[in-house]
């Protein structure tokens, strides 16, 4: 007999794509990290993943949701060059294509300072 999944007994395996955003000013002893995570991921789930997989001691998490942007791209057709050795020219074909970039959530994770310093020392000695 198969288990019928209901909203209160669904099993969720965390396999989201968590992307570490490169800091502007890299610091090996940084206590603040920035990640891009899926919009449906909660702070508790992110803290659990960072604790269990990466061994970070998380103090707090701040999140902000960024909706996708609408972008337009024109359709171009390249025409052959008039003279040999010249670059081909591009002519715009009628119509534009509209698409939307995916939404994402930005999570700023603040680590405990003592744990962050120990982690930085550990990574620095490798």
The CATH classification number of 19-67+103-125 equals 3.30.70.330
CA distance 35 to 62: 10
pLDDT of res. 18: 86
pTM greater than the 0.85 cutoff: no
pLDDT of res. 94: 61
> What single string gives the DSSP state of each residue in 19-35?
EEPPPSS--TT-SEEEE
According to DSSP, residue 50 is labeled I
Domain ranges across the chain? 19-67+103-125
pLDDT of res. 103: 87
Residue 39 contacts residue 16 (beta carbons within 8 Å): no
CA distance 120 to 103: 32
- At residue 52, what are phi and psi to the nearest 5 degrees? -80, -40
pLDDT of res. 107: 95
70-79 and 58-66 strand pairing: unpaired
CA distance 92 to 78: 9
pLDDT per position in the chain (126 positions), as tens? 555 656 655 555 557 788 888 877 777 667 888 999 988 889 998 998 888 888 888 999 999 999 888 887 766 665 665 666 666 555 555 666 777 888 889 999 998 877 656 666 676 665
């Amino acid at each position: 007999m198969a288990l019928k999944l209901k909203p209160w007994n669904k099993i969720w395996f965390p396999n989201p794509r968590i992307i570490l955003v490169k800091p502007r000013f890299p610091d090996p002893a940084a206590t603040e990290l920035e990640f891009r995570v899926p919009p449906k991921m909660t702070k508790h789930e992110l803290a659990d993943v960072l604790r269990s997989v990466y061994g970070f001691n998380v103090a707090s998490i701040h999140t902000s949701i960024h909706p996708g942007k609408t972008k337009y791209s024109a359709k171009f057709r390249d025409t052959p060059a008039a003279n040999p050795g010249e670059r081909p020219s591009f002519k715009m074909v009628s119509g534009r294509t509209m698409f939307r970039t995916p939404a994402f959530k930005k999570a700023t994770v603040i680590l405990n300072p003592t744990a962050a310093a120990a982690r930085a020392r550990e990574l620095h000695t490798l």
